[in-house]
Each structure stands twice: as structure tokens, then as C-alpha cells.
A and B are shown apart, each in its own frame.
Chain A
Amino acid sequence: MQIETFQFGAVNFIEDNILKFKSGLFGFEELKNFLLIKPDDDNIFYWLYSVEKPEIGFPLIGLNVVYENFPPEEKCTAFGIVTMNQDPLKVTVNSKAPVYINQDEKTGFQKIIEDDKYDVHYNLFVE
């Protein structure tokens, strides 16, 4: 199987690579199947691409990179959706609604954390 992505061009994958999001993402509830792509080891960003609509893709960052004790979910890695900006100081990550991914079971879900220390637009970089 193959999808055409903006960042990586054609991406080949097999059924087993697909992450199932039962409830989709907030704002994209209709999208249930995603691919998680890690460009290379030096890169802090991952990319989450919709299999159904490959024109929809998000940069993600592991939230443990930013927060020391980010609320865990069993067997999952917590990622935040990144909003890019031409000005790196305006690049933000959504830590209020993390995307949890279970790589073993190939599942994912997004949830909202009721704690004011997490922010929908948390600045990712500082000088």
C-alpha cells in the first residue's frame, strides 16, 4: 500500500503499520487510520499521516521531551500535535490534548487533560 505525503513523497506501508484511532482526533473524528513516521534519529519531530486522507498530516513531538513527568497511559507514548510557524518562537505544541500511541497494539487516541499546567498552545522553543 502507498500514500502520497507532502513531507516524504510516496510512503509505502503494510496493514500492520497502521495505527487505529477508534475515535479519530478532535476536529478529525472521521479519520481512524494513521501512520506514524520518524524521519531520522536526529529529528525531534515525528509525523502522523492519515491513511484515508494523506493530505492531512501533523508534526508530533514526544511530550516527555518537554515535560518531566507527563501523565502516562498504559503501554503508550504521549505525543503533542505541533503547530508550525515561520517564526520558530511561535511554534507551539498542544500538551492539553495529547495523542497517546501504543506501538505494540497499533492503537492511538487523543484525550484532554484537565490540568491548567498543560496548554493547547505551549511555546516549543525559547531563545
Chain B
Amino acid sequence: MLILARKNGDEIIIDSNIVIKIISASDGYVKIGITAPEEIEILRGEIYSKVKESTLKASEESRQKLQNISKLKLNKFKE
């Protein structure tokens, strides 16, 4: 892993079209601005991990037979 030390306002350029800018850093929080082409997907690491884990679980459990749901209701989302 490449490790770089940067100050507030400094930038990092990746592949000449992705710009990562350090907006601010204090008290263990870093605020980062990212400019990248539209087709580049940017995700928070922990959300990606959670989604990936859920997809793997769904695949594992896909052979479970659904029990009788005739007495249950669909859990419609309420705003």
C-alpha cells in the first residue's frame, strides 16, 4: 500500500482523471472530496462489505424452502 502524508487542501491524482482532495482533517475525522469520471463507482468501504456479505448469504440460503406465508403480510415500507 502506498502511504502519502497530505495537508488540508492538498490533492492526490490517480490515473490523471481521478482527483482526491483533502478538505479538512481534525479530531480523527478526515473530509475528502473526490472528482472522478461518472463510470467510476465510489463506495464507502463498510457499506460495500455489508452488501457483499449479504449477497453471499443470499446465495447460501437460496435453497431454503419458503414456509407457508399465507397468514403473513408483505411488509410494505411506510414513509
Contact = CB atoms under 8 A, between A and B. Distances in A.
Contacts of A123: 75
Interface stretch (A11-19, A89-97, A100-108): A89-97
A83 B54 contact: yes
Interface residues of B, number: 31
B31 interface: no
Contacts of A85: 61, 64
Contacts of B57: 83
Interface stretch (B1-9, B10-18, B42-50): B42-50
Interface of B: 41, 43, 47-48, 50-59, 61-69, 71-77, 79
Interface of A: 6, 23, 25-28, 44-45, 56-59, 65-68, 81-89, 91, 94-97, 111-112, 117, 120-127
11 contacts: A27-B56, A56-B59, A57-B62, A58-B55, A66-B75, A85-B61, A86-B64, A88-B69, A89-B72, A97-B54, A111-B41
